[in-house]
Amino acid sequence: MSYETYRIADLIDEIAMGPFGSNIKVSCFVDSGVPVLNGSNLEGFSLSEKAFRFVTKEKADSLNKANAHRGDIVITHRGTLGQIAFIPQDSRYDRYVISQSQFRVRCNDKVLPEYLVYYFHTPIGQHKLLSNASQVGVPALARPSSTFQQIEVVLPELSIQKRVVEIISTIQKKIANNQELNDNLMQQAVTIFKSWFVEYSLFDGIEPKEWETVNLEKITSLISRGIAPKYSDNSDQIVINQKCIRNHMIDLSQARTHTPKVINEKWLRFGDLLINSTGDGTLGRAAQVWFQPQNITVDSHVTVVRPAKENLIFYIGLWGVLHEREIESLHTGSTGQTELPKERVKALELHLPDNGTLDRFNTLIAPMAAAIVSKQNENNKLATLRDALLPKLMSGEIDVSAVQL
* 170-205 per-position pLDDT tens digit: 999 999 899 999 999 999 999 999 999 999 999 999
Instruction: Look up the CATH number of the domain holding residue 273.
Output: 3.90.220.20
Going by C-alpha positions, the residue among 93, 101, 54 that lies closest to residue 70 is: 93
Residues 131 and 224 in one domain: no
Q: Residue 23 — very low, low, confident or very high, per pLDDT cuts 50/70/90? A: low
Tally of domains in the chain: 2
Q: Does residue 168 sit within a domain?
A: no
* 63-107 per-position pLDDT tens digit: 988 999 999 999 998 877 888 999 999 999 999 999 888 999 999
Tell me the C-alpha distance between 215 and 322, whole Å.
Answer: 16
Residues 224 and 147 in one domain: no
Q: Does residue 394 sit within a domain?
A: no
Phi, psi of 131 (to 5 degrees): -65, -20
Residues 125 and 239 in one domain: no
Structural domain range at position 71:
3-155
Local structure of residue 278 (DSSP, 8 states): B
Local structure of residue 267 (DSSP, 8 states): S
The domain boundary, picked from 106, 139, 155, lies at: 155
Q: Does residue 175 sit within a domain?
A: no
The domain boundary, picked from 125, 155, 185, lies at: 155
The CB density around residue 213, as the number of other CB atoms within 10 Å, is: 9
- What predicted TM-score, i.e. pTM, was given to this entire model? 0.85
Which amino acid would we find at residue 357?
T
Query: Which of 9-23, 68-82, 301-315 has the largest mean confidence?
Result: 301-315
Q: Does residue 202 sit within a domain?
A: no
